[in-house]
Chains A and B, each alone.
Chain A
Amino acid sequence: GAGVSQSPRYKVTKRGQDVALRCDPISGHVSLYWYRQALGQGPEFLTYFNYEAQQDKSGLPNDRFSAERPEGSISTLTIQRTEQRDSAMYRCASSFGIGTFNTEAFFGQGTRLTVV
């Protein structure tokens, strides 16, 4: 596709359920990033991949959060046993180069997660 695609756009889930958020990066982009954004705040880094390798997961809040990118393209962010504090906009981004040294990141429209 022309841009970074995320699905679903909106997800409402009950507390305690697991959710999987999908990101389809721009074709050919090497790096993929996950961010979380609360209302009125800037995006907060969660994790990033170069190809299929997870390079940095220091931003994942706890072990209920995990991410994978098994074939170096599509990525899934999984949240297990969701809690209300997990409610936020989850944004995915990709970049052509390795990391963000000197290359811009292209962001998707995000998945709005609401845990009730």
Chain B
Amino acid sequence: SQQGEEDPQALSIQEGENATMNCSYKTSINNLQWYRQNSGRGLVHLILIRSNEREKHSGRLRVTLDTSKKSSSLLITASRAADTASYFCATGPYNQGGKLIFGQGTELSVKP
């Protein structure tokens, strides 16, 4: 069963605005990862945050992790039309080293 749940399911914004997506999960984790999937393309890794980290940055991406609330957020600043894609959070459950459990995804549309 999927343990990650993204919120919102769909998000539509204008170019230049910020986009925030949230992810909740149920079990203890080693890490949490965010992936992007463009229409018809493969999954691309964006960022990994370890369970002992609270915040991480990569370019225009900012990820936060709150293990007490079992939640994470992905912020994309100054969005571009090319950011249009589905975004998935994936958790690496504690003591299940090979498994990534993906959420249902947030579909982001950035309008020029």
B-binding residues in A (CB < 8 A): 31, 33, 35, 41-45, 48, 50, 55-56, 58-59, 91, 93, 98-110
Contact = CB atoms under 8 A, between A and B. Distances in A.
B42 A100 contact: no
A94 to B, nearest CB: 11
Interface in B15-48: 30-31, 33, 35, 41-45, 48
A100 B100 contact: yes
B33 to A, nearest CB: 7
A89 to B, nearest CB: 10
Interface of B: 2, 4, 30-31, 33, 35, 41-45, 48, 50, 88, 90, 92, 96-105
4 residue pairs, one from A and one from B, having the closest CB atoms: A99-B97, A42-B102, A48-B98, A104-B45
A107 B42 contact: yes
Contacts of B43: 43, 91, 93, 107
Given A101-B30, A102-B48, A109-B41, A45 B88 contact: no
Contacts of B90: 42
A109 B39 CA distance: 12
B98 A44 contact: no
Nearest to B45: A104
